[in-house]
Amino acid sequence: MAIFSSSTKEIPQEIATVPRHIAVIMDGNGRWAKKRMMPRIFGHKRGVEALRETVRACDALGVGYLTVFAFSNENWRRPQDEVSFLMGLFLKVLSGEITRMHDNNIRLKIIGNREHFSPELIALIDAAEVKTAENTGLTLSIAADYGGRWDVMHATHCLLADHPELSTTFAEEDLTPYLAMAYAPEPDLFIRTGGEQRISNFLLWQLAYTELYFSDMLWPDFDRHALAAAIDWYHGRERRFGRISEQLQSSC
Ligand code: IPE
Ligand code: IPE
Ligand code: MG
């Protein structure tokens, strides 16, 4: 597995013009539908189309990793019929898209707690990951029943199960290989649509030095132009990783 430098322990070697990794909270599906006097589920269906376009656009731009938040640990608290619809939609989209993703050289990863999914969905996730494991194009990670705190706790339990001798002390580097996104560099750019300015328990660890972009656009309206606007904004950021501006200028 590739080892990526961490933004807190080491300064990343190079800051790519095109973000290497974009993380997205796809928010606003329900409000999009409500504005059109439609049930919330229509927003979720249209949200899949926005995701399809975003995947295509990231692939075309040469973004290496796209990670999207599809269902949080806390989303089980929603009305039962919406939760069932979302689970069904996940199953349908996964089974319907996997061949196309594979043909487009996309590597698919699903991160999060799988324990509460149906056996059918778990089998499909496993099969999709195995089928696309060797693909070398965009890595699309879908966070489903994911939470940043779950991730850190789960990683800690796994580390200590593998290395009980570390129970009294362990370092950041011992833990990070057990985190859900150990296979990817930390996100350069985070995008949240829907107007809320919060992280909602997404990649708490991994977003330590990510540039955070918030948009009022509702997720079903997101498209390649909106993605380009976010990347343009990212280009204007100065990524200091704890240093001061003058240090960046003198190292050029
Ligand atoms: C995000 O859209 C999708 C999921 C959480 C599954 P929402 O469903 O949260 O839409 P709003 O925020 O209610 O508009
Ligand atoms: C965050 O959206 C989770 C996903 C997009 C999957 P929510 O709409 O659930 O977030 P909160 O609860 O408003 O913070
Ligand atoms: Mg929401």
Distance in Å, CA 72 to ligand 2 centroid: 7
| Residue pLDDT, tens place only, 63-100 | 999 999 999 999 999 999 999 999 999 999 999 999 99
Cβ(12)–Cβ(241) below 8 Å:
yes
CATH of the domain at 80: 3.40.1180.10
- Domain membership of residue 113 (yes or no) is yes
- Distance, in Å, from the CA atom of 248 to the CA atom of 252, rounded to the nearest integer, reads 7
* Number of the ligand closest to the Cα of 69: 2
- Domain membership of residue 12 (yes or no) is no
Report which protein residue has its CA nearest ligand 2's atom 14. 200
| Residue pLDDT, tens place only, 2-61 | 667 777 888 877 777 899 999 999 999 999 999 999 999 999 999 999 999 999 999 999
- Domain membership of residue 70 (yes or no) is yes
Instruction: Reply yes or no on whether 27 is catalytic.
Output: yes
| Residue pLDDT, tens place only, 160-218 | 999 999 999 999 999 999 999 999 999 999 999 999 999 999 999 999 999 999 999 99
Cβ(223)–Cβ(60) below 8 Å:
no
- Domain membership of residue 249 (yes or no) is no
- Domain membership of residue 8 (yes or no) is no
- Distance, in Å, from the CA atom of 252 to the CA atom of 172, rounded to the nearest integer, reads 30
**Structural domain that includes position 78:** 21-146+189-195+212-238
- Domain membership of residue 36 (yes or no) is yes
Q: Tell me what percent of the residues of the chain surpass a pLDDT of 70.
A: 97
Neighbours of ion ligand 3 (CB under 5 A): 27
Cβ(222)–Cβ(193) below 8 Å:
yes
- Domain membership of residue 206 (yes or no) is no
- Domain membership of residue 135 (yes or no) is yes
Instruction: Reply yes or no on whether 59 is catalytic.
Output: no
Token couple for 46: 């249209």
Annotated binding-site ranges for Mg(2+): 27, 211
Provide the number of structural domains found in the chain. 1
> What pTM does this model have?
0.96
